[in-house]
């Protein structure tokens, strides 16, 4: 008995010795020293150098907003979840106009200042290490309708005819009502929890949750987020695959229910061309407002007064081209608008229209117009992004279709949304894919049609079946 205890004692001693010897499990090394620097005050788009910010990747926005329609006052409480891309001493968010009351980073009070027109500069209590996921909570408030806007497609926060409000705009939108990294380069998931008085309804992106809550689990470019507050009539249904459909009709827009009711038909047709519907939900927001444009707000496009079925086709096509696959730079906006516009031609072809005849007629009308052909479709210059993409862009895509042939063009329509699903892409990516699918040298074609400022050469103007 005593011998056995001695043996056990020796064994125990050996174990202890081994644990403290050369084979011991060493403690993890201390983290490397940090070298924190400020995040950039812009994301790098040459057309809008102050838009967006650097130093982090936004992952999620949770916007909690209370809005009082009679006074127009909004109180916001937004949490931005992000991942640091380098050691951060400070970073910026974009927020226009509204007064900031407090900022916290990971639950600790942070210093903040306002710089330039819309920079909210946040200095956390401690530097943030690269690769760390951190949460920034901003409490703010004010009347967002009083924030200056540039006009055009920058619509800003607007009061609606029924006394409510709505928010659409491009390229600037989200920063009018919540702090954001306002660049399409940094997409993130989005949740809105809205509080409004009884009798008012809030509609936003994605799937409807508890009252006033909307969540899109797919990444969203910030200008494609939205909020609409009104006395809406709501229609709900599902697509054949179970995707929820929620459409809202403002007072005065009820007659457009007949158009809105065709959404499943339109999405079914486009799915046949572009591949499976890529969004978490579907629907529409039909306003009775005289704004100059409708907008492809993700999952639930916003329609101005007078929007017709062709507009429904256009904005629905954006759910693939522009929403799921987003531009990296605004100079590549043709990747959004040229394809959404050509979808309207595809719809007309479905109804029996000969697109070659339509193309030739358009060329005959525009043949002598130097202004029409001077519109560049790529690298068009800041402020000119939306000039040629809706008309010349359609002709360019039809010419491309005839240049590479229907089999390659059909693969392009499927492969592009699939390859870059829920991400970003560039014009260089597009040219590379078309070249690979067609097996052709298309440098001259792209130079003539997309970067050129005059009528393309006949070989590019009338390719394939258009030549006959």
> Which pLDDT tens digit goes with each residue over 106-135?
999 999 999 998 999 999 999 999 999 999
CA separation for the pair 400, 463 (Å, rounded): 8
Verify that 40 and 103 share a domain, yes or no.
yes
Of 195, 232, 231, 230, the C-alpha closest to 211 is 195
- Is 26 a member of any domain? no
* Six token digits for residue 379: 């690298």
User: What are the tens digits of pLDDT across the range 350-407?
Assistant: 999 999 999 999 999 999 999 999 999 999 999 999 999 999 999 999 999 999 999 9
Q: In the chain, what are the helix, strand and coil shares in percent, each to the nearest 5?
A: 30, 25, 40
Q: What would the mean pLDDT of 222-240 be, rounded to a whole number?
A: 97
| Angle, CA of 86, 331 and 343, to the nearest 5° | 120
pLDDT class for 21, splitting at 50, 70, 90? very low
pLDDT (0 to 100) of residue 16: 38
Q: Indicate whether this model's pTM tops 0.85.
A: yes
- Is 11 inside a domain boundary? no
Question: Could you tell me how far CA 316 lies from the centroid of its own chain?
Answer: 14
Question: Within this chain, do residues 360 and 390 fall inside the same structural domain, yes or no?
Answer: yes
Q: Are 259 and 360 found together in one domain?
A: no
Report the CATH number at residue 283: 3.30.2010.30
pLDDT at residue 468, rounded to an integer: 67
Indicate if the pLDDT at residue 6 is higher than 90.
no
Those residues whose C-beta lies under 8 Å from the C-beta of residue 192, and which sit 6 or more positions away, are 63, 65, 202, 204, 205, 212, 213, 214, 215, 225, 227
Any idea of the CA torsion for 412, 416, 419, 420, to the nearest 10 degrees?
A: 170
In this prediction, residue 272 has a pLDDT band, given cuts at 50, 70 and 90, of very high
Segment 15-34 mean pLDDT = 64
Residue 25 included in any domain: no
| Segments of 389-448 assigned E as strands | 423-425
Numbers of helices and strands, H then E, in the chain: 12, 22
Q: What is the per-residue pLDDT for 299?
A: 98
pLDDT at 4: 37
Question: Do 278 and 361 fall into the same domain?
Answer: no
pLDDT recorded at residue 79: 98
322-350: buried (b, 16+ CB within 10 Å) or exposed (e) per residue? bbbbbbbbbbbbbbbbbbbbbbbbbbeee
In a domain, residue 173? The reply is yes
pLDDT tens track for 258-269: 999 999 999 999
Query: Residue 361: which domain range?
Result: 327-467
Q: Specify the CATH number for the domain of residue 45.
A: 2.60.40.1730
User: In the prediction, which pLDDT does 5 show?
Assistant: 33
- Classify residue 3: in a domain, yes or no: no
Q: How high is the pLDDT of residue 213?
A: 98
Whether residue 208 sits in one domain with residue 297: no
In this prediction, residue 392 carries a pLDDT of 98
Alpha carbon separation from 222 to 32, 135, 193, 323 (Å, rounded): 35, 18, 17, 10
CA distances from 459 to 130, 363, 408, 456 (A): 53, 14, 19, 8
Q: How many CB atoms neighbour CB 452 within 10 A?
A: 21
Structural domains in the chain (count): 3
Residue 32 has pLDDT above 70, yes or no: yes
Q: What is the pLDDT of residues 213-226, one digit of tens each?
A: 999 999 999 999 99
> 274-313: per-residue pLDDT in tens?
999 999 999 999 999 999 899 999 999 999 998 999 999 9
Q: Where do runs of H (alpha helix) occur along 43-156?
A: none
Whether the per-residue pLDDT at 10 is higher than 60: the answer is no
Res. 84: pLDDT tops 70: yes
Q: What is the domain-level CATH number for residue 381?
A: 1.10.390.10
Percent of the chain with pLDDT over 90: 90
Residue 431 has pLDDT above 70, yes or no: yes
Asked if residue 221 and residue 91 are part of one domain, the reply reads yes
User: Could you say which of 319, 354, 389 is where a domain stops?
Assistant: 319
* 3-state secondary structure at position 9: helix
403 is written with which tokens?
């240049």
DSSP lists the bridge partners of residue 233 as 249
* 116 plus 137 within the same structural domain: yes
- Does 2 reside within a domain? no
Judge whether residue 24 has pLDDT over 80. Answer: no
Question: What pLDDT does residue 7 have?
Answer: 35
pLDDT at 11 over 50: no
* 356 token code pair: 């070659």
Do 292 and 258 share a domain, yes or no?
yes
Band of residue 154 on the pLDDT scale cut at 50, 70, 90: confident
Rounded alpha-carbon distances, angstroms, from residue 241 to 20, 43, 92, 271, 347: 62, 38, 41, 12, 22
204, 271: one domain: no
Same domain, 82 and 143: yes
| In a shared domain, residues 247 and 348 | no
On whether both 352 and 287 belong to a single domain, the answer is no
Query: Which pLDDT score is estimated for 31?
Result: 85
- Average pLDDT of the segment spanning 82-105: 98
Residue 122 domain-assigned (yes or no): yes
More confident position, 151 or 143: 143
16 lies in a domain?
no
Q: Cβ of 209: how many Cβ atoms within 10 Å?
A: 12
Domain boundary among 254, 285, 319: 319
Q: What is the CA radius of gyration of the chain?
A: 27
How high is the pLDDT of residue 150? 83
Indicate the residue among 319, 349, 370 that finishes a domain: 319
pLDDT over threshold 90, residue 14 = no
The pLDDT of residue 30? 85
């Amino acid at each position: 008995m005593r011998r056995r205890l001695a043996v056990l004692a020796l064994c125990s001693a050996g174990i202890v010795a081994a644990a403290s010897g050369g084979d011991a499990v060493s403690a993890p090394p201390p983290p490397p020293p940090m070298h924190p620097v400020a995040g950039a005050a812009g994301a790098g788009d040459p057309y809008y150098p102050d838009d967006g910010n650097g130093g982090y990747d936004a992952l999620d926005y949770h916007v909690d907003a209370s809005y009082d329609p009679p006074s127009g006052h909004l109180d916001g409480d937004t949490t931005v979840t992000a991942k640091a891309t380098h050691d951060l001493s400070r970073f910026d968010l974009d927020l226009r106009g509204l007064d900031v009351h407090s900022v916290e980073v990971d639950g600790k009070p942070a210093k903040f200042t306002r710089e330039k027109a819309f920079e909210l500069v946040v200095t956390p209590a401690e530097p943030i290490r690269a690769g760390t996921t951190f949460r920034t909570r901003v409490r703010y408030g004010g009347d967002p309708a009083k924030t200056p806007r540039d006009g055009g497609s920058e619509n800003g926060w607007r009061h609606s005819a029924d006394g409510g409000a709505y928010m659409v705009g491009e390229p600037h939108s989200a920063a009018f009502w919540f702090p954001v990294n306002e660049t399409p380069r940094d997409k993130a998931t989005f949740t809105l929890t809205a509080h409004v008085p009884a009798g008012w309804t809030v509609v936003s992106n994605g799937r409807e949750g508890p009252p006033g809550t909307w969540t899109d689990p797919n990444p969203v470019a910030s200008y494609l987020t939205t909020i609409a507050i009104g006395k809406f009539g709501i229609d709900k249904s599902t697509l054949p695959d179970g995707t929820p459909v929620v459409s809202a009709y403002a007072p005065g827009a009820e007659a457009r229910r007949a158009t809105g009711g065709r959404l499943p038909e339109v999405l079914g047709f486009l799915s046949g061309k572009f591949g499976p519907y890529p969004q978490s939900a579907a629907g529409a927001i039909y306003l009775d407002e005289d704004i100059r444009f409708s907008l492809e707000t993700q999952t639930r496009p916003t329609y101005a007064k007078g929007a017709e079925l062709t507009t429904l086709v256009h904005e629905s096509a954006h759910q693939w081209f522009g929403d799921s696959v987003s531009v990296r730079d605004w100079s590549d906006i043709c990747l959004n608008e040229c394809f959404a516009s050509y979808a309207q031609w595809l719809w007309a072809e479905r109804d029996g229209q000969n697109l070659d005849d339509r193309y030739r007629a358009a060329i005959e009308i525009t043949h002598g117009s130097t202004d029409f052909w001077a519109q560049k479709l790529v690298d068009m210059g800041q402020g000119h992004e939306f000039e040629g993409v809706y008309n010349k862009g359609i002709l360019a895509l039809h010419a491309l279709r005839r240049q590479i042939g229907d089999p390659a063009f059909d693969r392009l329509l499927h492969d592009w949304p699939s390859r870059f699903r829920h991400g970003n892409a560039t014009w260089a990516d597009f040219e590379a894919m078309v070249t690979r699918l067609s097996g052709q040298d298309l440098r001259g074609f792209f130079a003539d049609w997309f970067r050129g400022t005059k009528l393309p050469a006949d070989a590019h103007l009338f390719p394939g079946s258009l030549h006959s």
